[in-house]
Amino acid sequence: MNQSGFSLVGCMVSPGFTFDDFELFSQESLLAEYPQHEEVIRRLSRVE
């Protein structure tokens, strides 16, 4: 992946959604949940 690339993340839901309840993943939480995929997670996500 080159440094000039980008990613678009979308989330579509229907009834009952509010941003108060919305939480996008973090790199840290993905690494904790899926340690076997560390290389891919680090390559495709960033630390906030």
* Domain edges within the chain: 22-48
Burial of 45 (0-12, 13-18, 19+ CB in 10 A): middle
Per-residue confidence (pLDDT) for residue 1, from 0 to 100: 56
Per-residue confidence (pLDDT) for residue 11, from 0 to 100: 76
How far is 16 from 21, CA to CA, in rounded Å? 10
Over residues 1-48, the pLDDT tens digits come to 567 777 788 878 787 778 887 788 899 999 999 999 999 999 998 887
Confirm whether pTM is higher than 0.75: no
How far is 18 from 31, CA to CA, in rounded Å? 26
Torsional sign, CA 19, 4, 44, 7: positive
The helix/strand/coil state of 36 is helix
